[in-house]
Amino acid sequence: MTDALAASVPVAIIGAGTMGTGIAQLACLAGHRTILIGTPPETLDAARRAIAGGLETLVGKGRLTAAARDAALGRLETSGELAAAAPAGLAIEAVPEDMALKHRILLALEATMAPDAILASNTSALSLAAMARPLARPQRFCGLHFFNPAQILPLVEVIDAPLTAPAICDIGVATMRAWGKSPIRCRSTPGFVVNRCARAYYAEALRALAERAADPATIDAVMRESGGFRMGPCELMDMIGHDINAAATASLFAATFGDPRYRGSPIQTEMVEAGLLGRKTGRGFYDHAKGAPKPLPATAAPGPRPRRMRVLGELGPAAALAARAIAAGLDVDCAPGDGRIVVDGIHLALGDGRPASLRSDVDAVFDLALDAATQTRAAIAVSDRALAGAGDIAAGFFQALGIAVSVVDDMPGLLVLRSVACLANEALDAAQQGVASEDDIDLAMTKGVNYPLGPIAWAGRIGFARVLRTLENLEAVTGDDRYRPCLRLRRRAAAPAS
């Protein structure tokens, strides 16, 4: 096993913004003499104060002693000159995403530091291959992509550029573990792991808005309260900034020669053009002004309480609804069938990528939940062919189980199922292409963006065949190639159950 960079080896961080400051806090806390380089002087002063404040917070939480805090601050140095990086064995650039700027910095560092020093970039979007091209020693260059705030979020993507010596990334992984992070190893491709795989989470929400299936507050509530995500996609885009989010999507779309999976959204483009960037401008999908009321999700009025639930066949991921119905005092009986619920003559089924109106077997479909035993909200869509009152009966059923209901337009795949299917497909495709291992991809999505479950593990839980069927139906209904199932998903779906 490769050893981590020794604590006696100095580390230089170039860029004293939020990201560079967070990385510097990690390095000095891990025992390294840490040289934080940036301009102007007041930026460095602010960075030192931020690091001191961060360490003081750890002391207040009992996670760091006062002596350890003082020792870490004693290892921190600041400078406005790149020459100050000369003694460092590792230099990490964390400057803005400007290739020309990064080239100037990396070339200056290479000329300043020892030949056996390691150079790394914190880029989240730029090509590491292009970044390494002018270097005399590209074999000693890699990517170390931290997530903001770097001193808190555990994930680091350790990235092999095309000419990186394998031992360099081995050292990177070991060093990040020594710093208390959760590193994954990945290949240099557009978006790496997280920025690539997460596109589907934002994209499907934007497409649901474009299809006028639901409003932002309802989409977010369903994704949190049914899907188990910590933040809904609309509120998350507001937090990231729509300009940044749209630029990441555009960069991936261009780098993949127009792959439709990474196509941008006219809705988001218009928001960027209007300056509705989210929290940083005060308005995005939501009004972030102080005291502004937060919109409430669409929630169905109370429907009639049923007395009986009939289960036809296996309900798959929704099986726990039967136990909840029994606990709620409903009579439940089971019969052979294809996975439907019958309540007061209304037929309900878990979505499969087709709108309810294109199915002859149901009156309404309901969305996937992370855990049907604990979900607090369900999204349902009612068929255009259903009899009047079908939606009220369907809502009343879920409400009797203690589940709030959001009625959305009859969109293919609904919200959670559609998003999870696309996330899983993207993750499996990345694994197929050797970007990272399946385990590392799942780790990246849980540690880097706080998903409740890795997308590949999630697909395994609900069934690869169900995910494949959902995507095939989405592709057939929409005619959009963005839903094409990848080869690895097809193979997993065809494999016999273990």
DSSP secondary-structure letter at 4? P
**496 has pLDDT over 90:** no
CATH code 3.40.50.720 for 11-188: yes
Residue 465 is predicted with a pLDDT of: 97
Residue 261 is predicted with a pLDDT of: 96
Residue 442 is predicted with a pLDDT of: 98
pLDDT band at 2 (very low <50, low <70, confident <90, very high): confident
The amino acid at residue 9 is: V
C-beta neighbour count of 228 within 10 angstroms: 17
Q: Where exactly are the structural domains of the chain?
A: 11-188, 308-407
**1 has pLDDT over 80:** no
| Mean pLDDT across 282-307 | 96
Q: In this predicted model, what pLDDT tens digit does every residue of 413-433 receive, in sequence order?
A: 999 999 999 999 999 999 999
Query: Closest by alpha carbon to 380, among 149, 214, 155, 170?
Result: 214
| Mean pLDDT across 169-182 | 97
Contacts of 374 by beta carbon, 8 Å cutoff, 6+ apart = none
* DSSP reduced 3-state for 415: coil
Lookup: tokens for 203: 């994209």
Share of the chain above pLDDT 90, in %: 98
- The answer to pTM > 0.75 is yes
Residue 498 is predicted with a pLDDT of: 60
C-beta neighbour count of 459 within 10 angstroms: 25
Mean pLDDT of all residues belonging to the chain: 96
Task: Decide: residue 328, CB within 10 A, 0-12 exposed, 13-18 middle, 19+ buried.
Answer: middle
pLDDT band at 38 (very low <50, low <70, confident <90, very high): very high
Neighbour-count burial for 337-363, b at 16+ CB within 10 Å, e otherwise: bebbbbbbebbbbbbbbbbbeebeebb
What torsion do the CA atoms of 261, 258, 268, 131 make, to the nearest 10 degrees?
100
**53 has pLDDT over 70:** yes
| Mean pLDDT across 371-399 | 97
* Residues tagged active-site: 157
pLDDT band at 398 (very low <50, low <70, confident <90, very high): very high
Residue 351 is predicted with a pLDDT of: 97
d(CA 463, CA 448): 24
Residue 13 is predicted with a pLDDT of: 98
Q: In this predicted model, what pLDDT tens digit does every residue of 131-164 receive, in sequence order?
A: 999 999 999 999 999 998 999 999 999 999 999 9
Q: In this predicted model, what pLDDT tens digit does every residue of 67-126 receive, in sequence order?
A: 999 999 999 999 999 999 999 999 999 999 999 999 999 999 999 999 999 999 999 888
CB distance 400 to 330 below 8 Å: yes
Residue 445 is predicted with a pLDDT of: 97
d(CA 283, CA 5): 44
**300 has pLDDT over 80:** yes
Handedness of CA 431, 436, 441, 445 (dihedral sign): negative
